[in-house]
Amino acid sequence: MSGGLDTTLHAPARLQIAALLARVEEAEFATIRDIVEVSDSVLSKHLAALGEEGYVRLRKAAQDGRQRTWASLTRAGRKAFAAHMAALQELVASAQAAAVAE
Amino acid sequence: MSGGLDTTLHAPARLQIAALLARVEEAEFATIRDIVEVSDSVLSKHLAALGEEGYVRLRKAAQDGRQRTWASLTRAGRKAFAAHMAALQELVASAQAAAVAE
DNA sequence: GCCTCTCTTTCCATCTTGGAAACTGACTAA
DNA sequence: TTAGTCAGTTTCCAAGATGGAAAGAGAGGC
């Protein structure tokens, strides 16, 4: 019943995360958390969900003696995001077609 | 945390309903149900939700001796749908801005 | 009065989302 | 080496959505 929409990407929080990552090489955990405005635990879980789907890659490394995590979209992630946005556009278009047929 | 997105319209099923109605004067209950592919009860509940939000108007009338229900977007509904689509577009754009700032 | 058609409402089970708090791993400081 | 931080993770739990089946309800038809 989800008309081509990717449920993993459709949830508001993850849609924001994906949209953010779609325009960057990679982004830091804290940066994403502040932009999306969710708690650490929630962001961690969303990134994990995106990771399991193969959409996001997490890179952990130390910087200034502090451990940091960078997230980036995988190729599949970019593709899925683009497809999802396309599905949204199409949702409107197909609605139009259905209307004509009615 | 929902970046300007309208949660009432964001749920896949309701997004499809709204997209469909956005292009028609009005659509029949059964038509919507078949396009969105949900059960009667579910469609009824979604339309009720959209109605409570002031986005959809339901018109009931008899046709060929059968009682039918037509749904249509109210002006507020069309406005909200347009705004929601705009928010989706903007989500991508703002993500870009954030990326630059990073 | 009874039946059918067309939704509605109720009941219920499942899934998702979100935050707080506890926990882990890595590294710094004594 | 032990204690303390920082940066996420995982666990626990509560709340809200969503979906379908089944029972209801209203309007006509027979």
pLDDT in tens, B31-88: 999 999 999 999 999 999 999 999 999 999 987 788 999 999 999 999 999 999 888 8
- Using pLDDT thresholds of 50, 70 and 90, give the confidence band for residue A102: very low
Consecutive H or E run containing A77: helix A75-101
pLDDT attached to residue B66: 87
Instruction: From the CA of A12 to the C1' of D7: give the distance in Å.
Output: 24
Distances (CA, A) of B38 to A76, A81, B49, B50, B72: 30, 25, 15, 16, 18
Give the pairing type, strands B66-73 and B56-63: antiparallel
User: Distance of alpha carbon A97 from its chain centroid, rounded?
Assistant: 29
Closest residue to B36, CB basis, from A1, A31, A88:
A1
Measured to protein CB atoms, the chain D nucleotides within 7 Å are 6-11, 17-23, 26-29
Phi and psi at B53, nearest 5°, equal -80, -10
Torsion angle of C-alpha atoms A12, A15, A20, A21, degrees rounded to 10 = 140
Contact call for B5 and A12, based on CB within 8 A: yes
Coil vs helix vs strand at B3: coil
pLDDT of A65 > 70? The answer is yes
Average pLDDT over residues A14-26: 94
Asked whether the predicted pLDDT for residue B1 surpasses 80, the reply is no
Is the pLDDT at B90 greater than 70, yes or no?
A: yes
CB neighbours of A47 closer than 8 A, spacing ≥ 6? A17, A29, A32, A56, A58, A71
Work out if A63's Cβ lies within 7 angstroms of strand C. Answer: no
Does residue A33 reach within 7 angstroms of strand C, measured from its CB? Answer: no
pLDDT bucket at A71, cuts 50 / 70 / 90: very high
Map residue B69 onto helix, strand or coil. strand
Q: What is the pLDDT of residue B87?
A: 87
Q: For position A95, what pLDDT does the model report?
A: 54
pLDDT on residue B94 = 64
Please report which confidence band the pLDDT of residue B102 belongs to, taking 50, 70 and 90 as the band edges: very low
Mean residue pLDDT across chain A: 88
CB distance A24 to B99 below 8 Å:
yes
Which one-letter amino acid corresponds to residue B35?
I
Model pTM score: 0.87
Pick the CATH number of A7-101 from 1.10.10.10, 1.10.150.120, 3.30.300.10, 3.40.1350.10: 1.10.10.10
Predicted confidence (pLDDT) at residue A98 exceeds the cutoff of 80: no
Reported residue count of chain A is 102
